[in-house]
Structure 1
Amino acid sequence: MSRTRSANSPVYLIALGAFALGMASYVTAGLIPMIETAFSVPVAIAAQLVTAFTLAYGLGSPIFVAMLPAHLQRAGLLFALGIFALANAASALSTDFTTLLVFRAIAGIGAGVYLAMGIAASTALSQPDQRGKSIAVIMGGMASGTVLGVPSSLLLAERLGWAFALWLVAALGAIALAGLIFRLPPLPAVRATSLKAKLALLADRHVVIILLVSLLAAVASLGMYTFIAPLLAATWQGASHSVTPYLWVWGIGGVLGSFLIGPLVDRIKGPVLTLWIMMILAAALFLLSTASSAGTWLVMLPIVIWGAVGWALQVPQNNELLKARERQGDGNLAVALNESALYLGSAIGAALGGLLLLQQWPAWILAGSAGGIAAVGALLQLLSLRRGASVECCGVRSR
């Protein structure tokens, strides 16, 4: 039992770093009013801090992961976490807005590289029948950082200043880094491949479908999350209700889904599990408007299911990507591209939802549209499963 705990401890330390990452990804949005006042900048300018972090995370991290030498996987993970922690500390120390903007972008790159490397490292350190559980622990750590860490740090920031929230993120990252320096063993060597060969993974049909499903899920789930307040306000027809409890319910569902999906990933084929998740996500989003119209408490059921499956999806997706590309040595890059698909999907969903509202479409259309996009993702996954089954039946290798 002690050996098992020793083997698992690096995974939990990686998850602690993911907790800090979850905080950093979302806390800046809550700090915008305080930063706006502190630096005397318009809110539209202050909001670009979120843009800088997310763009650097989604676009920069795959580039750095692709460039990382095969023999420096452990060093790359530790370096990325160190950069993330230092960039958050430097952000807290920034005295002008431009400097703060630059360090938020650097923190975003560090976060994206760390999560991709951390997921790959956790599977390398786990037994084959425990890989899904390890990824679930890390994704659960990130979800917990978003749901528990963000509101807690914002409460402290209101009393101690906006910089305190970023100091807290930096401290958690530093603690995780210190633990990993001493507890993270050497990682198994991966196949050394050229950058051109790594980018060839985009020609892998299986990988492309996984990324497309993740993209569609993010457009539907994260995009709809942006507009949950106007949706509920519209269906409540002006009744005075705080949306905060419903955001908490969504987040708690995400934490539960992230942790509980782990054992299922190790028992059920990833593509089959992804299909079920996408179908449940579509159903939950379709039910949002009806449930919210029926009652303010009844709507919590589709919201908690939506949060649970939305967060849980990335566990089988990342596990499948690593299995698909581990022989080629570019599994880390595949995971980084999957994270990019999530951020890109979130941005697309937010943009499409905003466009619908600008056109004076009723808010319930948002939930229906999100459900439709999730259903398209489920259909794509079903077609992929059928093709895979037919290929396997004919005795032909798909990859």
Structure 2
Amino acid sequence: MSKSERMHPGVWALAVTAFAIGVAEFIVVGVLPAIADDLGVTVATAGSLVGLYALALAVGTPILVIAAGRIPRKALLFALVSVFLAGNLISAFASSYEILLAGRILTAVAHGSFFAIGATVAARLSPPGQASRAIAAMFAGLTLAMVIGVPMGSLIGNELGWRLPFFGVVALAAVGLLAIALWVPKQPREADVSAAQQLKALKTLPVLVMMSITILGFGASFAAFTFITPILTDETGFSSGTASLLLIVFGVATLVGNLMGGRWAAHYGWARTLRIMLAGVAVVMVAMALGMSNQYVMVPLLFAWGVLAFGMSPGFQTGMLETAERWSPKAVAFTSALNISAFNLGITLGEHSGSALVEQGLIVLTPWAGLALAALAQLPLFWLAARHRRSGTVNNPAMASA
């Protein structure tokens, strides 16, 4: 690997912290019954720890990024990880549902802001034209958490108590703090920009269009993925144990896709990469809808699905950074935060689309909902890519660095 392609160690420091954040975000799902039993609430009430986490992340992230706009980037990252650590410590010692929820909300806001700021820092630490690869490396920590951290944390939490995984996240966050202190160089603070100037990004059409691409494109997979376990067991006929193993296969595919998606976006440009991968997701959704009852079809489809669905993440974030640099240069970090919110709004949109079908007993139709969202995402992508082409800033990998 040439020196120009070598990843800056600061990017790996961000990836270490992203791994801890990924475990913290998804671990509740694996120990939900244990939490409900211990705190004396229903499983449905405990389940709101997931939904309210996403809501706090989507709403709180842009607000915090604006409020912290004048803090130097390295110091801000260090502060965010410290808040994340504190939130998980509160969760680990929580004696009631309300205290646990408070810890989760604190964790969520730090989570979203870390990725918003971290993406801009990773892009700055990358060689010219390699921003998408650096962002993918950071997001790889998140996807790796799905493959290793969450299954291991769930196993430990269900055997030895649900609090133990939260203490594990605290330890991982401490490692992240050390890595940031050692490997992330000092970053200049953003130019003094008022909150009003940053909020103008919400009136910038290309920024809003890029958000819609992320919401529709990322959300396309969650209409079916939210219900993937009952699909695999009730419709495809796998045992629950086999379904769990297949989810690990899906998790490995998301890691592969994230890393490959970063390379493709750096080589081909984020717009072209997203266009092709969205088409791929659409094909997978059709194949899944038609072959849902065939076990031999579903296994390779799950892998292809994971590669495509999460392989788009670097392209979404790189596309927002490039769009912000072109049309909202005074609010790059804020628009990055908006796109982190868009990822979570996409999850919500996909889940609601799938839930509406499942409530009618139509779980077999959830892939068609995903197909519709993936197809719709192509429309704003076509418009935004055309705008970039007219300005000379798209499909040119050299422009991928922020």
TM-score, with length taken from structure 2: 0.91
1:5 Cα deviation from its structure 2 partner: 10
The reply to whether residue 323 of structure 1 matches residue 332 of structure 2 is no
Match of 2:15 in 1: 15
Deviation readout 1:216-252 (Å, 9 max, x if unpaired): 123211232102233334533x665642233222211
- Helix, strand or coil: the match of 1:186? coil
Aligned residues: 390
Alpha carbons of structure 1 residues 28 and 310: separation in structure 2 relative to 1, 3 Å = same
- Helix, strand or coil: the match of 2:193? coil
Q: Distance in 2 between matches of 1:309 and 1:115?
A: 21
Deviation readout 1:257-278 (Å, 9 max, x if unpaired): 1111222222212111111111
Deviation readout 1:320-366 (Å, 9 max, x if unpaired): 22223247232221121111111112112212221222223x32211
Match of 2:290 in 1: 290
The reply to whether residue 344 of structure 1 matches residue 381 of structure 2 is no
Within-5 A mapping of 1:63-74? 63-74=63-74
For structure 1, list consecutive stretches of 5 or more residues without a partner in the other structure: 394-399
Alpha carbons of structure 1 residues 131 and 85: separation in structure 2 relative to 1, 3 Å = same
- Helix, strand or coil: the match of 2:41? coil
Paired residues of 1:66 and 1:195 also in contact (CA < 8 A)? yes
Within-5 A mapping of 1:1-399? 8-236=8-236, 240=239, 242-293=242-293, 295-326=294-325, 328-360=329-361, 362-389=362-389
Alpha carbons of structure 1 residues 28 and 392: separation in structure 2 relative to 1, 3 Å = same
Q: Distance in 1 between matches of 2:148 and 2:79?
A: 26
1:2 Cα deviation from its structure 2 partner: 12
Alpha carbons of structure 1 residues 70 and 33: separation in structure 2 relative to 1, 3 Å = same
- Helix, strand or coil: the match of 1:299? helix
1:189 Cα deviation from its structure 2 partner: 4.0
Paired residues of 2:56 and 2:109 also in contact (CA < 8 A)? yes
1:388 Cα deviation from its structure 2 partner: 4.3
Paired residues of 1:291 and 1:302 also in contact (CA < 8 A)? no
Q: Distance in 2 between matches of 1:289 and 1:108?
A: 34
1:255 Cα deviation from its structure 2 partner: 0.5
**Mean Cα deviation higher: 266-275 or 164-173:** 266-275
Paired residues of 1:234 and 1:363 also in contact (CA < 8 A)? no
Paired residues of 1:258 and 1:311 also in contact (CA < 8 A)? yes
Q: Distance in 1 between matches of 2:204 and 2:307?
A: 29
1:383 Cα deviation from its structure 2 partner: 3.6
Paired residues of 2:270 and 2:316 also in contact (CA < 8 A)? yes
1:44 Cα deviation from its structure 2 partner: 1.6
1:66 Cα deviation from its structure 2 partner: 1.5
Partner amino acid, structure 2, of 1:340: S
Paired residues of 1:35 and 1:46 also in contact (CA < 8 A)? yes
Partner amino acid, structure 2, of 1:312: G
Partner amino acid, structure 1, of 2:324: R
1:377 Cα deviation from its structure 2 partner: 0.8
Q: Distance in 2 between matches of 1:47 and 1:12?
A: 32
Paired residues of 1:125 and 1:187 also in contact (CA < 8 A)? no
- Cα RMSD (Å): 2.3
Q: Distance in 2 between matches of 1:274 and 1:3?
A: 28
Q: Distance in 1 between matches of 2:224 and 2:81?
A: 30
Alpha carbons of structure 1 residues 358 and 52: separation in structure 2 relative to 1, 3 Å = closer
Q: Distance in 1 between matches of 2:80 and 2:171?
A: 15
- Helix, strand or coil: the match of 1:193? coil
Q: Distance in 1 between matches of 2:37 and 2:14?
A: 35
Paired residues of 2:223 and 2:366 also in contact (CA < 8 A)? no
Partner amino acid, structure 2, of 1:113: S
Deviation readout 1:61-118 (Å, 9 max, x if unpaired): 1110122133432211111111001111221111222111111110111111111111
Q: Distance in 2 between matches of 1:254 and 1:209?
A: 25
**Mean Cα deviation higher: 15-24 or 371-380:** 371-380
Partner amino acid, structure 1, of 2:27: V
For structure 2, list consecutive stretches of 5 or more residues without a partner in the other structure: 394-402
Alpha carbons of structure 1 residues 260 and 5: separation in structure 2 relative to 1, 3 Å = closer
Alpha carbons of structure 1 residues 239 and 271: separation in structure 2 relative to 1, 3 Å = closer
Alpha carbons of structure 1 residues 2 and 165: separation in structure 2 relative to 1, 3 Å = farther
Q: Distance in 1 between matches of 2:6 and 2:368?
A: 47
